């Protein structure tokens, strides 16, 4: 989305004519002992739009004297802002995951313990590469316990316990931003989520973010008959 709207107010989407994604991904695993496995992958990338036109609503447009002001002197309903070599939205420069798994044989079954770590780099929520539209890097850790065992008349029973975000990390993995120009009205007094981007031209933005769950867990049984 560029910020433009059509004649009924719907957002217009375009295919970016000139962009690229370029990077390197590494993946590996190692078993130092029979029961212990280490796995990991990480990707580094550059994700760029060579040229992008953003359209920003002009809230002052509606307060003009349309009857007495020549059409050529009226402010536009939207301003077009040209950007060059910006980051593609929701495209972090690095992303990775690592896990350690230990399998312990027991009578009539096995136990597996796994520790996961997820890493996601900083990213932008639109194509402007503005510091006001940037989500911070984050990471979280999960722990999984799996117990497979057999009983008479059942091929296998699996008990799975997944502890998610065990360190209760606070992070956001999605968001939206709306940018506008308003030289005659400062919306910060009425909306605490309004941010001033550029005082010289009265540019503000509104944002909504999607905080993810803190520590949580999932447990269940699977019966293989």
pLDDT in tens, 130-156: 999 999 999 999 999 999 998 888 889
- Those residues whose C-beta lies under 8 Å from the C-beta of residue 42, and which sit 6 or more positions away, are 25, 26, 94, 95, 96, 97, 119
Domain residue spans in the chain?
A: 22-47+90-224
How far, in Å, CA of 23 to CA of 154, rounded? Answer: 48
Q: Closest Cα partner for 151 from 72, 81, 225?
A: 225
The pLDDT, as a whole number, for residue 222 is 94
Alpha helices in the chain (DSSP H): none
> Which residues are 172's β-sheet partners?
211
How far, in Å, CA of 111 to CA of 106, rounded? Answer: 7
3-class secondary-structure state, position 71: helix
Label residue 8 by pLDDT band (50, 70, 90): confident
The pLDDT, as a whole number, for residue 13 is 85
How far, in Å, CA of 37 to CA of 20, rounded? Answer: 36
**Parallel, antiparallel, or unpaired: how do β-strands 36-58 and 19-33 relate?**
antiparallel
Find the mean pLDDT for residues 3-30.
89
- For tokens 């209760």, the residue is 168
**What does pTM read for this prediction?**
0.84
pLDDT in tens, 54-87: 999 999 998 899 989 998 899 999 999 999 999 9
């Amino acid at each position: 989305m560029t910020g433009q709207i059509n004649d009924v107010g719907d957002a217009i989407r375009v295919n970016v004519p000139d962009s690229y994604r370029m990077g390197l991904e590494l993946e590996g695993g190692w078993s130092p002992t029979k029961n212990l496995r280490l796995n990991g992958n990480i990707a580094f990338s550059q994700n760029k739009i060579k040229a992008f036109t953003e359209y920003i609503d002009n809230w002052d447009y509606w307060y003009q004297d349309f009857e007495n002001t020549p059409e050529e002197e009226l402010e536009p309903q939207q301003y077009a802002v040209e950007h060059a070599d910006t980051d593609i939205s929701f495209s972090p420069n690095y992303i990775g995951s690592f896990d350690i798994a230990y399998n312990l044989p027991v009578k009539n079954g096995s136990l597996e313990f796994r520790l996961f770590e997820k890493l996601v780099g900083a990213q932008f929520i639109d194509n402007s590469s503005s510091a006001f539209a940037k989500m911070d890097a984050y990471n979280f850790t999960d722990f999984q316990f799996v117990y497979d065992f057999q009983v008479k008349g059942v091929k296998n029973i699996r008990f799975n316990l997944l502890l998610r975000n065990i360190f209760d990390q606070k992070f956001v993995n999605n968001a939206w931003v709306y940018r506008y120009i308003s030289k005659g009205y400062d919306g910060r007094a009425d909306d605490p989520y309004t941010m001033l981007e550029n005082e010289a031209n009265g540019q503000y933005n509104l944002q909504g973010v999607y905080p993810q769950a803190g520590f949580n867990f999932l447990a269940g049984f699977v019966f293989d008959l």
